[in-house]
Chains A and B, each alone.
Chain A
Amino acid sequence: MQTLDKDEAVEQATFDQRISDEQKIEPTDWMPDDYRKNLIRQMSQHAHSEVIGMQPEGNWITRAPTLRRKAVLLSKVQDEAGHGLYLYSATESLGITRSQMIDALQSGKAKYASIFNYPTLTWADIGAIGWLVDGAAIVNQITLQRTSYGPYARAMVRICKEESFHQRQGYEIMTVLAHGTQVQKQMAQDAMNRNWWPSLMMFGPHDSESAHSSRSMGWKIKRMSNDDLRQKFIDQTVPQIEALGLDMPDPLIKWNEERGHYDSGEINWEEFYQVINGAGPCNYQRIKHHKAAHSEGEWVREAVRSYRQKQQDKKTENAA
């Protein structure tokens, strides 16, 4: 697609006006280089998270306790693959290719949500992930439906619609376990405790520490700050923990009448940076598996390419 060349200052002014008028930016519009770069970083990271996120859950598909649970989990993981596709395609509209993005993921240049570098030790982890991890993702994604880049916003609308069952199926698993035998209840408690902090880390560093946050807010790529999103998640989740009858994963969680929010303890940021920078329990395994799956799938892509070549050759032969 093509657009007319205009003076850059005029373009910048038009862009700024669109942002301040809550208008979406579309792929053929002029946009500042840094806006494009920032979007590519955030959107590809989001896409990678959807794809890598299939691994910890995929770990339990063959071991789901009932056929129904297995079908539900399969459906959910299938949705996540689709979310990866929507997001990669939307990111490609910014002028980066799929293979560039996959290279960046596999070489460690691009990040993905650090929560997926933790192992899924028991079946209860599948409940905790659906409930807490998808729950945290939904809090973020709901605000991103209003992000300033059109293709990203539209992908988010589609994704939010599909996410709706992910969290509930997780909570249902937790409810059954929490009301089960003592051992099952303990399993639920343990999975929640282990997944709680990494779920809070999904919202990223504190606003004061976040390198990209304020600029992204200015461009309306992000619509709510990391800390505000995290607080929103804590506020909605604490009553859900109470309803399960489980103990709080953080002894400092307490309703603060004055603030109108729950107070909670401080995240272990050292752990956060360690995991982000590759030293989490499963970082190595996740990328190794991605590389293996990608290269094992090469023969399919190869077959598609050579079929296409054959069809083209046939066409030119017939035309000659």
Chain B
Amino acid sequence: MSQEQLAVYEVFIRSNRGLDHKHVGSLHAESPEHALMYARDCYIRRSEGVSIWVVESTNITASQEDDIESFVDPMDDKPYRHATHYVLPDNVTGM
């Protein structure tokens, strides 16, 4: 069986307790359990993480970078959503 007939899994690793899982790469595997073992062998050889998530790539719904302008409004016209937009008097601190 060629690699391409196996499902692709995306691998996410939590490098330390308390942190988010981060995407680190992908691999081919025949089952989620298999993918988890592969991920362990491929991505955690130097204590890079304490927890692994594997997700079959086809289960990920992604936005397209080409569409990003029409899909995601960066809200650049709303500077008032940032704290720096509001000027405080010099004698006011702790905000």
Identify the A interface with B (CB < 8 A): 18, 23-26, 28, 68, 71-72, 75, 135, 150, 153-154, 164-165, 167-169, 171-172, 175, 236-237, 239-240, 243
Contacts and interface: CB of A to CB of B under 8 A. Distances in A.
Given A24-B17, A153-B18, A164 B82 contact: yes
B80 A171 contact: no
A71 B78 contact: yes
A23 B18 CA distance: 7
Contacts of A167: 95
B86 A243 contact: no
A72 B18 contact: no
A243 B88 CA distance: 10
Contacts of B17: 18, 23-26, 150
A240 B94 contact: yes
Given A68-B80, A72-B80, A168 B18 contact: no
Given A154-B20, A240-B94, A165 B88 contact: no
A320 to B, nearest CB: 22
A243 B78 CA distance: 28
Nearest to A26: B17
Contacts of A18: 17
Nearest to A25: B17
A239 B78 contact: no
Contact of B51 (A23, A26, A236, A237): A26
A222 to B, nearest CB: 17
A94 to B, nearest CB: 16
A10 B44 CA distance: 26
B40 to A, nearest CB: 16
A157 to B, nearest CB: 10
Contacts of A28: 51
Nearest to A175: B89
A183 to B, nearest CB: 22
Contacts of A154: 18-20
Interface in B53-95: 78, 80-83, 85-86, 88-89, 91-95
B95 A135 contact: yes
Nearest to A148: B18
A264 B51 CA distance: 48
Contacts of A236: 93-95
A72 B11 CA distance: 40
Given A24-B17, A71-B80, A243-B92, 19 more contacts: A23-B18, A25-B17, A28-B51, A75-B81, A135-B95, A150-B17, A154-B20, A165-B83, A165-B85, A167-B95, A169-B80, A172-B86, A236-B94, A236-B95, A237-B94, A240-B94, A240-B95, A243-B89, A243-B91
Nearest to A169: B86
A236 B92 CA distance: 10
A239 B86 contact: no
A6 B78 CA distance: 52
A319 to B, nearest CB: 16
A171 B88 CA distance: 8
Interface centre among B51, B82, B86, B89 (most CB of A within 10 A): B86
Contacts of B83: 164-165, 168
A240 B95 CA distance: 9
A165 B95 contact: no
A243 B90 CA distance: 9
Contacts of A175: 89
B81 A165 contact: yes
A45 B76 CA distance: 33
A121 B52 CA distance: 52
Nearest to A173: B86
